[in-house]
């Protein structure tokens, strides 16, 4: 019974209600926020035999550090409550409770900017996993899905490399997978188990990490490689910056990025400078003003022009700001990404 997930969940719920009834709020919160697993760790053959289990409560590092000086007493108190909740079991019992710290994996999702979102990567990894199971268990035919599989494999493999992950899947072609399963696994269940074990830890790790919402690029940066490299460098420097000089570097990189953006979209013959004066190759503000005036021309786009002009003014002001604090650097980077997203949208990079 204890090794069945649904029965274990019912017992954990009962213990949670017991803790609430006794107003043990700290223990209630701890149990509610823990990942609960169980493992058989003992057996006594007396009187028909009794199986003993250890219950593991996996908590985040912050919670563990907070309670580490009283872990033994917490484990003892929880063991008592689980003893009450399982007293009806004749040949099973929980003999030990162990609280285990676990650090959440950190993934620099910014490395995939303009290439993949977290959601898209997880979706494509699941596609590969499900397709491999399907073709090897009487589902889809390899010849019908192999081209799409190979394309997704290449995309996800590149993305995992950028995230510094080893691709757990060695089969870049479904016929290669066919050679493996037909010679090694005779049963459908064996093939499913093999694929699940190959992919599940990766999928869990991808799902458990949060995608950063700071300076997120939403437009396609294909053929804008220099801009993409600059954005990645801005993120890196912003994350590492601690001194005034390092914060200033973020501003300098942001300014160069806006100049690169202007040079990528401004066409002299198509976008006349508004004041008619000669312009230098690094005058990003005037180039983008001319670009916006043409690309968002017409009375129906007046509000958009004002928004674009305000975004450009903010980016220009912040990239030239002399003060250098963490706040200044973050605002500067955010404004730079905003103008890239705006111009990229005008260019149809969505």
DSSP string over 105-156: P---GGGGTTT--HHHHHHHHHHHHHHHHHHTTTSS-HHHHHHHHHHHHHHH
Residues 6+ apart with CB under 8 A from 215: 110, 231, 234, 235, 238, 333, 334, 336, 337
* Secondary structure element (H or E) that encloses residue 192, with its range: helix 188-208
Give, for all 350 residues of the chain, the pLDDT tens digit: 677 777 888 899 999 999 999 999 999 989 988 888 888 888 887 777 888 899 999 988 888 888 989 999 999 999 999 999 999 888 888 999 999 987 666 677 766 655 667 788 899 999 999 999 999 999 999 999 999 999 999 999 998 988 888 899 999 999 999 999 999 999 999 999 999 989 988 888 888 776 554 456 778 888 898 898 888 888 778 877 888 888 888 888 888 999 999 999 999 999 999 888 888 888 988 898 999 999 998 888 888 888 877 877 777 776 777 677 888 888 888 888 888 988 999 999 87
Q: Which two tokens stand for residue 260?
A: 């690169």
Please give the order of strands across the beta sheet that includes 35-44: 35-44, 50-60, 92-102
Q: Which helix (H) or strand (E) holds 257?
A: helix 244-265
Torsion sign (Cα): 213, 218, 222, 225: negative
Cα separation, 256 vs 332, in Å, equals 12
- pLDDT on residue 210: 60
User: What is the separation of C-alpha 290 from the centre of its chain, rounded to a whole number of angstroms?
Assistant: 38
d(CA 338, CA 350): 14
pLDDT at position 213: 47
Task: Output the pTM of the full model.
Answer: 0.43
**Are residues 35 and 10 in contact, defined by beta-carbon separation less than 8 angstroms?**
no
What confidence score (pLDDT) does residue 303 get?
87
Separation CA 184–CA 42 (nearest Å) = 34
- pLDDT for 237: 82
Backbone φ, ψ for residue 51 (5° rounding): -100, 130
**pLDDT at 114 (0 to 100):** 52
Torsion sign across C-alpha atoms 327, 328, 331, 336: negative
Residue-level pLDDT at 325: 82
Length of the chain: 350
Position 110 scores a pLDDT of 64
Q: For position 187, what pLDDT does the model report?
A: 94
With tokens 């499913």, the residue in question is 192
Phi, psi of 53 (to 5 degrees): -125, 150
């Amino acid at each position: 019974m204890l090794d069945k997930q649904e029965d274990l969940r019912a017992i954990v719920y009962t213990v949670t209600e017991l803790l609430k009834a006794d107003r043990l709020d700290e223990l209630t919160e701890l149990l509610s926020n823990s990942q609960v697993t169980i493992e058989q760790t003992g057996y006594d053959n007396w009187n028909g035999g009794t199986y003993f289990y250890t219950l593991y409560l996996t908590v985040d590092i912050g919670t563990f550090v907070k309670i580490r000086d009283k872990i033994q007493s917490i484990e003892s108190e929880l063991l008592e409550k689980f003893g009450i909740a399982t007293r009806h079991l004749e040949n099973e019992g929980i003999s030990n409770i162990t609280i285990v710290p676990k650090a959440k994996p950190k993934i620099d999702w910014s490395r995939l900017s303009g290439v993949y979102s977290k959601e898209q990567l997880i979706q494509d990894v699941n596609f590969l996993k499900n397709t491999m199971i399907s073709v090897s268990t009487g589902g889809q035919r390899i010849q019908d899905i192999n081209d799409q599989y190979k394309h997704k494999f290449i995309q996800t493999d590149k993305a995992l490399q950028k995230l510094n992950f080893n691709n757990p899947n060695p089969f870049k072609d479904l016929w290669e997978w066919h050679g493996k399963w037909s010679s090694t696994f005779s049963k459908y269940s064996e093939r499913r188990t093999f694929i699940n074990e190959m992919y599940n830890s990766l999928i869990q790790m991808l799902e458990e990490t949060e995608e950063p919402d700071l300076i997120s690029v939403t437009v396609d940066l294909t053929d804008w490689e220099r801009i993409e490299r600059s954005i990645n460098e801005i993120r890196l420097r912003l994350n590492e910056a601690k001194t005034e000089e390092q914060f200033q570097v973020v501003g300098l990189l942001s300014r160069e990025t806006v100049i690169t953006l202007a040079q990528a979209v401004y066409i002299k013959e198509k976008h006349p400078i508004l004041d008619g004066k000669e312009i230098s190759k690094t005058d990003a503000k005037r180039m983008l003003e001319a670009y916006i005036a043409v690309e968002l021309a017409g009375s129906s786009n007046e509000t958009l022009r004002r928004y674009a002009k305000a975004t450009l003014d903010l980016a220009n002001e912040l990239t030239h700001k002399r003060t250098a604090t963490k706040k200044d650097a973050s605002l500067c980077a955010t404004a730079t990404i905003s103008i890239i997203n705006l111009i990229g949208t005008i260019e149809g990079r969505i």
